[in-house]
Chains A and B, each alone.
Chain A
Amino acid sequence: MPVWLTHFTTTYLMWNEGPMIWGSDVLILLTMLGIVVTLTRLRRWKWLWREWLTTVDHKKIGIMYLLAALIMMFRGGVDALLLRTQLAVPGNHFLSAEHYDQIFTTHGTIMILFMAMPFIFALFNIVVPLQIGARDVAFPYLNAISFWLFFFGAMLFNISFVFGGSPDAGWVSYPPLSELGFDFGPGENYYLLALQISGIGSIATGINFLVTIFKMRAPGMKLMRMPLFSWSVVAASVVIIFAFPALAIALALLTLDRVAGTHFFTILHGGDPMMFVNLFWVWGHPEVYIVILPAFGVYSEVVATFARKRVFGYSSMVLSLMLISVISYFVWAHHFFTMGAGAGVNTFFAIASMLVAIPTGVKVFNWLFTMFRGRIRLTLPMLWTIAFVPCFTIGGATGVMLAAAPADYQYHNSYFLIAHFHQVLIGGVVFGMLAGMYYWWPKVFGFMLDVRLGKIAFWLFNIGFYVCFMPQYALGFMGMQRRMYTYPTDMGWGTLNFISTIGAYIMGLGFLFIVIQVLYSIKHGERDLTGDPWDARTLEWSLPSPAPHYNFAVIPTVTERDMWWELKERKETDRLKLKSDMITPIHMPKNSGRPFLMGVSFFIAGFGLVFEWIPIAVLGLIGILLSLLFRAFEYGDEHTIPADEIRETEAALGRL
């Protein structure tokens, strides 16, 4: 082999590192080949471009987010299993320190930013316009850009595994550890640029949905008539808008340190690492509320539907959502009680953190009393919601324990903390997202998911969860710190770690069953012909499943909360029935390939910057600039659907 090729394969492809990399390379190549061959043989390239890559339809964008989130959950889950395998027994050599460090970094980053975020955005997109009676979001073109920025950000992050090396400074990436002096590989650059790119998309999504909900509600849908999921999107969007700029700055300044040689967070020349820690958590703590608030919204919808009862204390629910989003800005320092902020500051942030428990607790009681004197159907979404309550309550309680600053001195960075945040993030966010996925699945795809397989997945995942994480609380009390790639035998941590690893594998099995369930149901799932398979309450269930691409042939006029349910109760659903002469032509936004190409350009620019290959970065930036310019001169980005075509579509759906 020529020298340059050896250099390339060692430095960038890391072929000297052994079978794990080779295996991944082969798998990636096979997958890509498989996709190309399948698309070519089925002659689906045009279909892919027309129906998906260029789409601005919120429902399709939602589906793409959902798919991406599930794939990322798989990647993050495999990371988790590798970590747990390494920790199963003391003194293990399954992974080296370097690999372990990379894997816990990618596990955390992927799960928060490339799994939880797209999962909530999937539900934002799938549900909000349908729920508030709109035909799309306020800015469909921007919505597509958001998705492709997320997508290519995630791609950029993931290729680090096989090209150049993964980041290894933890998902919080504190300097000076993440500075050039201690971490000179491209991995950290990948982290910074991938998060930056997808973060821009997240800010745009926050703006988009806030405007959508404020301006595009159907006539008569006053704010206090709005379904609670949409309210939770308002709360989450507000938090996104206020929190993500801090992340953008934290990442940008660290990037400057690494790429341009500045001294924001370095040890020497006056840099201040603490500044990064502050900026990071000014975003980081609100971020966990960003992902949990939509889950709260899902629970509110699911509980009311499957208890066949109005949600209890609607105004309280709205108030607590908004309170949580406000308080979320005043708690960030609880991530570093142990960084010498002083007793006064610590006390302030301790009490502020405990305050979050109040509106959250209120929500739990309201959900309980929604079920009280209802009629509870234990469907899949409801099962996940019911499982959420104990899991999140215990996680919330350990959260309050952590908020007591002096006690936190003993929990900080220990497995107690690990157990706590996995319990609230899995028990709160993942359960919520899964409940939401099961709940709206028939609305999106037009068929039901198999119940039996879903229940197996549910029980495996839940039992696995407790087996995995309860021992970790105990390990925290036993003094085990997070992020150790191995531990000695004499600490007595072996047994509990082994149990925890078993739990992780049971959870993995649970995830596998979800995948099997989806695949099985695609073929055998029961079709939903009613549009309202759950006998639900809100506007989206008045539409056929899946909804036509213009959503509402005629925008309904809303007269009350839970209108669809109330109309059914009073047998007045005819009020929403279409009449031929009501239908007028609809203008819808045109598809565009530019958001996709812009994502590609961001990817190229980010990739160039990771390796500081400036010409490539400039090429990407030119691409971004061109997409902006072409958009500026674009007039008439909408097309008209003639009334007759709508009549035909609706008649075919049996609604006219």
Chain B
Amino acid sequence: MHDKAKKRRIRYGMLGASAMTLLLSGCGPQYMVLDPVGPVGREELHLIILSVILTGIVIIPVLALLVFIVWRYRDKPGNRAPYQPKWSESRVLEVIWWGIPIVIVGILGYFTEKTTFALVRPPENNIAPITIEVTSLDWKWLFQYPDQKIATVNYAVIPTGVPINFVLTSDAPMNSFWVPRLGGQEYTMPGMAMRLWLQANQSGTYYGHGANFTGRGFAHMNFNVIAKPATQFYGWVQRVKSTSHPLTRAIYAQLKIPSVIGTTQYSSIPPNLFNGTVWADGGKYMPGMLPAQGTGSNSMKHNSTQ
């Protein structure tokens, strides 16, 4: 008995330790969530670390206590540890273990609230943001740049150091737009235009993927977000404008047909494609859902006459 309890103790100790190491020290670039390249991902990482520490305050004593208690009070002849079969109430102890979790939840709750509200605002106020309208389709991603009037499929290029206002929708089953190294995800849902602020402070190519299951081709819904310095970004925009074909409604209708395809880009976008899609898929029933004029989106006038 003794031997087994000891083995268990060692095993759990090792497991706990290795879990913590994994959590805290695995910050290679492979561990995308732990190695953010922008302020949004960094803010989320801070909350993750805080939550690890706060929950650690409870779970480490619990694990230690468990090992100690199981070993000390094992039922073995000659065990001289006290035995009090009727001892079952202690006001002091109860206050402690109702109290500590309440305090921890209070602290974590406060920081959660702060971060939640912070993340709905642009990460940088002094720099004019760029809007990218994202539509998830079966099984591809369409990125429209309403200000630059270009579009891409399955990749997006963004300038570094500039807050990006991703406006998300789906013209297919709902998906979720996730670029782990830039920050957390947000769903793309038909009839809704949801907003996600992200920003990259470092040039690079960042892995992105749909995070919500959408059927057969879902596993192939990956895309890259390529961050470049602003000048290179605008150079790329000009190149797309001069070398690609325009995106027409006919091409959009083809994109809507379920398939897995590679990357493409388009030199122009049809007016009101994004907002029209959101509107037709149910956005018309949700006042305030469509982005207001001025964020670079197409005019809303067309919508109201639909």
Binding site for B on A (CB under 8 A): 97-98, 101, 168-170, 174-177, 182-183, 267-268, 270-274, 307-314, 316, 336, 338-340, 342-343, 346-347, 350-351, 354-355, 357-358, 361-362, 364-366, 368-378, 386, 389-390, 393-394, 396-398, 400-401, 403-414, 466, 470, 473-474, 476-479, 481-487, 491-492
Complex Cα distance, B16 from A183, in Å, reads: 43
Complex Cα distance, B175 from A174, in Å, reads: 11
Given A309-B84, A309-B85, A401-B51: A492 in contact with B187 (beta carbons within 8 A): no
Q: Are A406 and B43 in contact (CB under 8 A)?
A: yes
Q: Are A97 and B219 in contact (CB under 8 A)?
A: yes
Q: Are B89 and A177 in contact (CB under 8 A)?
A: no
Q: Which interface residue of A267, A270, A371, A483 has the most chain B CB atoms within 10 A?
A: A267
Q: Are B105 and A355 in contact (CB under 8 A)?
A: yes
**B127 within 8 Å of A by Cβ?**
no
Interface size bracket, B side: 35 or more
Q: Which residues of A contact B56 (CB under 8 A)?
A: 397
Q: Which residues of A contact B84 (CB under 8 A)?
A: 309, 373
Q: Are A376 and B105 in contact (CB under 8 A)?
A: no
Complex Cα distance, B56 from A398, in Å, reads: 10
Q: Are B190 and A273 in contact (CB under 8 A)?
A: yes
Q: Which residues of A contact B251 (CB under 8 A)?
A: none
Complex Cα distance, B4 from A39, in Å, reads: 45
Q: Which residues of B contact A473 (CB under 8 A)?
A: 19, 22-23
Given A377-B75, A397-B59, A410-B48: A340 in contact with B187 (beta carbons within 8 A): yes
Choose among B31, B82, B117, B187 the residue that contacts A347 (Cβ–Cβ < 8 A). Answer: B117
What would be 12 A-B contacts, judged by CB atoms less than 8 Å apart? A170-B213, A174-B173, A177-B173, A273-B190, A313-B90, A362-B97, A389-B62, A390-B62, A400-B55, A407-B51, A410-B41, A410-B180
**Closest Cβ neighbor of A346 among chain B residues:** B116
Stretch at the interface among B66-74, B141-149, B152-160, B229-237: B66-74
> Digit string of B126-164 for contact with A (CB within 8 Å is 1, else 0)?
000000000000100000000000000000000000000
Q: Are A376 and B74 in contact (CB under 8 A)?
A: yes
Nearest CB on A from B278, distance (A): 11
**Closest Cβ neighbor of B177 among chain A residues:** A338
Nearest CB on A from B58, distance (A): 6
Complex Cα distance, B271 from A92, in Å, reads: 43
**B47 within 8 Å of A by Cβ?**
yes
Q: Which residues of B contact A378 (CB under 8 A)?
A: 1, 4-5, 74-75
Choose among B19, B58, B116 the residue that contacts A350 (Cβ–Cβ < 8 A). Answer: B116
**Closest Cβ neighbor of B280 among chain A residues:** A268
Given A338-B186, A361-B101, A401-B52: A310 in contact with B86 (beta carbons within 8 A): yes
Q: Are B215 and A407 in contact (CB under 8 A)?
A: no
9 further A-B contacts with Cβ under 8 Å, apart from A386-B70, A404-B47, are: A271-B282, A339-B189, A372-B69, A374-B73, A404-B115, A410-B180, A410-B183, A412-B184, A477-B23
Choose among B23, B86, B185 the residue that contacts A409 (Cβ–Cβ < 8 A). Answer: B185
Choose among A177, A308, A393 the residue that contacts B174 (Cβ–Cβ < 8 A). Answer: A177
**Closest Cβ neighbor of B89 among chain A residues:** A313
Q: Which residues of A contact B215 (CB under 8 A)?
A: 101, 168-169, 177, 182-183
Q: Which residues of B contact A483 (CB under 8 A)?
A: 213, 218
Given A182-B173, A313-B88, A401-B51: A406 in contact with B112 (beta carbons within 8 A): yes
Nearest CB on A from B49, distance (A): 9
Nearest CB on B from A576, distance (A): 21
Nearest CB on A from B252, distance (A): 16
Complex Cα distance, B210 from A258, in Å, reads: 26
Nearest CB on B from A87, distance (A): 11
Q: Are B105 and A406 in contact (CB under 8 A)?
A: no
Complex Cα distance, B102 from A355, in Å, reads: 8
Complex Cα distance, B12 from A170, in Å, reads: 34
Q: Which residues of A contact B94 (CB under 8 A)?
A: 313, 316, 362
Given A343-B120, A358-B105, A477-B31: A406 in contact with B184 (beta carbons within 8 A): yes
Choose among B93, B98, B174, B180 the residue that contacts A176 (Cβ–Cβ < 8 A). Answer: B174
Q: Are B282 and A361 in contact (CB under 8 A)?
A: no
Given A177-B215, A393-B62, A406-B115: A312 in contact with B73 (beta carbons within 8 A): no
**B202 within 8 Å of A by Cβ?**
no
**Closest Cβ neighbor of B57 among chain A residues:** A397
Q: Which residues of B contact A410 (CB under 8 A)?
A: 33, 41, 44-45, 48, 180, 183-185
Q: Which residues of B contact A370 (CB under 8 A)?
A: 88
**Closest Cβ neighbor of A354 among chain B residues:** B105
Q: Which interface residue of B51, B112, B214 has the most chain A CB atoms within 10 A?
A: B112
**B65 within 8 Å of A by Cβ?**
yes
Q: Are B59 and A394 in contact (CB under 8 A)?
A: yes
Choose among A170, A339, A397, A481 the residue that contacts B58 (Cβ–Cβ < 8 A). Answer: A397
Q: Which residues of A contact B15 (CB under 8 A)?
A: 390, 466, 470
**Closest Cβ neighbor of A565 among chain B residues:** B85
CB contact list, B6-32 vs A, under 8 A: 8, 12, 15-16, 18-19, 22-23, 26, 30-32
Choose among A267, A374, A492 the residue that contacts B281 (Cβ–Cβ < 8 A). Answer: A267
Q: Which residues of A contact B74 (CB under 8 A)?
A: 375-376, 378
Choose among B18, B191, B211, B214 the residue that contacts A412 (Cβ–Cβ < 8 A). Answer: B211
**B178 within 8 Å of A by Cβ?**
yes
Q: Are A374 and B85 in contact (CB under 8 A)?
A: yes
Given A270-B282, A375-B75, A474-B22: A479 in contact with B183 (beta carbons within 8 A): no
